[in-house]
Structure 1
Amino acid sequence: MKNIFTKEITAEVISRIENLTSQKQPIWGKMSVSQMLAHCCVTYEMVYTDKHPRPNAFTRFMMKALIKNIVTSDKPYVKNGRTARQFLIVDEKDFVSEKKRLINFITQTQELGEKEFEGKASHSFGKLTAKEWSTMFYKHLDHHLRQFGV
């Protein structure tokens, strides 16, 4: 899995995002491109904002037991897989502002670097290694950028 903390991989991902247009249609799934960008921002919102309430202890335990390996392993996501309620984007979003927000989050993460994320607790899974964070970030972005053909 590519390391999102490196400048080269961050630049590659941002270049793919820059290739999106507001009219781009998904290869699979129901989200519009602007909804997809907002959806991808949720992962970063959970790191950098208080917008999303932290799950209770039981839910965190279940997520760690059942979901953590799915999001931190190298195995790609399946197409049309279910997503957590917090990640559902049902209203239309502004393409330009969501694209800018996502690029800013990705850049901020790369600039903070692996040391900042080593042992950092995630919103739902407890402490993760920098490699697990990188995999989670990159794998999710790659999945949705492939969904839109970039």
Structure 2
Amino acid sequence: MTPTYANLFDHAEADAAIRRIEALTPDSTPLWGKMSVAQMLAHCSVAYDMVYSGQYPRPNPLLRWVLRTMVKDKVVGPAPYPRSSPTAPAFRIKDARDFSSERARLIAYVRRVAGDGTSAFEGRESPSFGPLTAAEWNVLFSKHLDHHLTQFGV
């Protein structure tokens, strides 16, 4: 059975995701993996940083081609992420992070996506994958968020 993911462009579904984020505490521990809860929150925000902050440069053309042909379908497709799967270097959070500020930042991003709506994302360029549909953007955000919230038991 193919999982369905929350539609983060829908305010009610975004609010449900936010309630899951709010259920985390500084003492939440992972069911698998090595990240702390604060690192996980920071890790989840990287996808939104790539859209909104411009702090991550576009990969070179060869790497973009590799990402589009070998990684894109895994990221924007319906299959869930395997547990403890490797992550791209930009998404690795190695330093300690402040739980409260990382949680607030991720919640603000989820709210911003809901507020911007599908029209802001339809055909929007991904630095790594090229233009994506709004549905693909939603899966990119929602599947990743669900994977890590499940990792921390919420």
Cα distance in 2, alignment partners of residues 56 and 110 from structure 1: 30
Q: Which residue of 1 aligns with 2:45?
A: 41
Q: Which residue of 1 aligns with 2:8?
A: 4
Work out whether 1:120 is the aligned partner of 2:121: no
Q: Which residue of 2 aligns with 1:98?
A: 102
Note the residue ranges of structure 1 that are not aligned, 5 or more in a row: none
Return the TM-score normalized by structure 2: 0.96
Matches within 5 A, 1:1-150: 1=4, 2-150=6-154
Runs of 4+ in 1 over 2 A off after TM superposition: none
**Aligned residue type for 2:50:** M
Cα distance in 2, alignment partners of residues 60 and 24 from structure 1: 35
* Deviation for aligned residue 1:15: 0.1
* Deviation for aligned residue 1:50: 1.9
Cα distance in 2, alignment partners of residues 64 and 146 from structure 1: 27
Aligned residues: 150
Give the secondary structure class of the aligned counterpart of 1:67: helix
Cα distance in 2, alignment partners of residues 44 and 133 from structure 1: 10
* Deviation for aligned residue 1:77: 0.3
Note the residue ranges of structure 2 that are not aligned, 5 or more in a row: none
Q: What percent of counterpart residues are identical? A: 48
Cα distance in 1, alignment partners of residues 45 and 93 from structure 2: 11
Q: Deviations over 1:95-143 (max 9, x none)?
A: 0000000000110011000011000000100000000000110000000
Cα distance in 2, alignment partners of residues 54 and 22 from structure 1: 33
Return the TM-score normalized by structure 1: 0.98
